[in-house]
């Protein structure tokens, strides 16, 4: 699988890079927990973070004029362990300079098709907007939050606990309903790409230029398994700072470990990130699908319990 991926990018002249796993900064996403470690070089003592994804460092390379790049590396997410999660996992992340989201989605379809070729045949790739797929499975509009309608849906679907868990938080409602009622049906024996996520789930994506309610973000699914997440990358340093601050204040409210804004990333964005789109794919999960394995532990040499 790794050889196939490297050949794919070599043929397209995308440069393979390596960036630090251990870094002074870390993403501020309140949904991601990170590992910290102490760097000691007396008298210097500094807290460093194991990266939850190589995104920031790769964007610095892009801003420095690297052109299109890809990387296969380890990523670390604290507290994530389960049938589809291991706190240390392997990620493929790539950025295409000059690509908008639809072009990147074409490339993803080519890559996945190529990797599966000879192992398993997939049906034709599907593409849906988030709004269209959410509506068709639930009858709810994901872009317009109606507390009453969402609660009624939860009660009708034997998920009454959702009312307490989600409260009036639109984003958590979307996560809850999407992961319970939509995602399990996506991409049956095919690659399914869902794009146009609601603006409240924008993460590091740009807001769509024609519709400010949606964001240029895409997620990949095969057999109900989330495989990857891509963006038409946000290049506006000020907007990035605003989102960092917003996420930091959420972290503070939820009493999560504090993080610092990655000043190098902000400096890189200020100096100018080229127009680009990027995506990250979980390779362990891809291997699960290729080998028809029911759990991530089946494709890891030493899962966390035995690491």
- In the region spanning residues 1 to 60, those forming contacts with other proteins, defined by CB under 8 A, are 29, 31
Closer residue to other proteins (CB): 52 or 71: 52
Binding to other proteins by residue 267, rule CB under 8 A? no
User: CB of residue 55 vs other proteins: minimum separation in angstroms?
Assistant: 12
Place of tokens 């390379």: 61
Closer residue to other proteins (CB): 50 or 218: 218
- In the region spanning residues 225 to 244, those forming contacts with other proteins, defined by CB under 8 A, are 226, 228-229
Pattern 79-108, other proteins, x by CB under 8 A: xxxxxxx-----------------------
Phi, psi of 140 (to 5 degrees): -100, 145
User: CB of residue 286 vs other proteins: minimum separation in angstroms?
Assistant: 14
The contacts of residue 33 (CB under 8 Å, 6+ apart) are 77, 78, 79, 80, 256, 257
Closer residue to other proteins (CB): 174 or 222: 174
Binding to other proteins by residue 201, rule CB under 8 A? yes
Note whether 84 and 297 are within 8 A (CB). no
CA 225-28-26 angle, to 5 degrees, is 95
Q: Strand, coil or helix: what is 68?
A: coil
Q: How many CB atoms are located within 10 Å of the residue 139 CB?
A: 10
Applying CB under 8 A, the span of 60-68, 95-103, 164-172, 264-272 interacting with other proteins comes to: 164-172
Note whether 231 and 206 are within 8 A (CB). yes
The CA–CA distances, whole Å, from 76 to 80, 85, 229, 304 equal 9, 11, 16, 11
Closer residue to other proteins (CB): 121 or 246: 246
User: CB of residue 161 vs other proteins: minimum separation in angstroms?
Assistant: 6
Q: Which helix (H) or strand (E) holds 40?
A: strand 35-41
In sign, the C-alpha dihedral spanning 151, 187, 93, 272 is: negative
Query: How many residues contact other proteins, by CB under 8 A?
Result: 30
Q: How far apart are CA 68 and CA 57, in angstroms?
A: 14
Q: Strand, coil or helix: what is 221?
A: strand
Closer residue to other proteins (CB): 33 or 270: 33
Binding to other proteins by residue 176, rule CB under 8 A? yes
Binding to other proteins by residue 157, rule CB under 8 A? no
Q: Strand, coil or helix: what is 196?
A: strand
Binding to other proteins by residue 165, rule CB under 8 A? yes
Binding to other proteins by residue 162, rule CB under 8 A? yes
Binding to other proteins by residue 127, rule CB under 8 A? no
Binding to other proteins by residue 159, rule CB under 8 A? yes
Binding to other proteins by residue 180, rule CB under 8 A? yes
Closer residue to other proteins (CB): 1 or 159: 159
Strand order in the sheet with 22-23: 22-23, 44-50, 35-41
Q: How far apart are CA 178 and CA 111, in angstroms?
A: 26
- Token pair belonging to 199: 């603006």
Query: In angstroms, how far is the first alpha carbon of the chain from the final one?
Result: 23
Binding to other proteins by residue 275, rule CB under 8 A? no
User: CB of residue 67 vs other proteins: minimum separation in angstroms?
Assistant: 26
Binding to other proteins by residue 203, rule CB under 8 A? yes
User: CB of residue 11 vs other proteins: minimum separation in angstroms?
Assistant: 28
Q: Could you list the residues that contact other proteins (CB under 8 A)? A: 29, 31, 79-85, 158-159, 161-162, 165, 171-172, 174-176, 178-180, 183, 201, 203, 219, 226, 228-229, 282
């Amino acid at each position: 699988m790794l050889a196939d991926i490297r050949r794919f990018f070599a043929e397209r002249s995308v440069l393979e890079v390596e960036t630090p796993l251990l870094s002074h900064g870390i993403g501020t996403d309140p949904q991601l927990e990170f590992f910290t470690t102490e760097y000691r070089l007396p008298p210097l003592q500094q807290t460093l973070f194991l990266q939850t994804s190589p995104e920031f460092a790769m964007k610095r390379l892009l801003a420095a004029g690297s052109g299109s790049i890809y990387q296969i590396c380890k990523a670390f997410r604290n507290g994530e362990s389960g049938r589809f999660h291991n706190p240390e996992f392997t990620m493929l992340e790539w950025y295409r300079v000059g690509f908008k989201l639809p072009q990147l989605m074409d490339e993803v379809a080519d890559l996945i098709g190529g990797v599966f070729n000879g192992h398993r045949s997939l049906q034709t790739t599907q593409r849906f907007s988030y709004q269209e797929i959410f509506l068709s499975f639930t009858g709810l509009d994901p872009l317009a939050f109606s507390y009453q309608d969402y609660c009624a849906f939860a009660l009708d679907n034997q998920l009454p606990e959702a009312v307490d868990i989600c409260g009036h938080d639109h984003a958590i409602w979307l996560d809850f309903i999407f992961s319970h009622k939509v995602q399990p049906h996506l991409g049956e024996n095919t690659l399914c790409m869902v794009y146009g996520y609601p603006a409240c789930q924008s993460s590091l994506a740009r807001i769509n230029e024609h519709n400010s309610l949606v964001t240029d973000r895409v997620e990949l699914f095969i057999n109900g398994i989330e495989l990857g997440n891509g963006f038409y990358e946000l290049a506006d340093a000020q907007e990035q700072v605003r989102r960092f601050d917003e996420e930091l204040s959420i972290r503070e409210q939820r009493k999560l470990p504090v993080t610092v804004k990655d000043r190098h990333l902000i400096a890189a964005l200020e100096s100018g990130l080229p127009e680009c789109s990027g995506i990250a794919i979980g390779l362990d999960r891809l291997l699960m699908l290729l080998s028809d394995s029911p759990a991530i532990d089946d494709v890891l040499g030493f899962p966390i319990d035995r690491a």
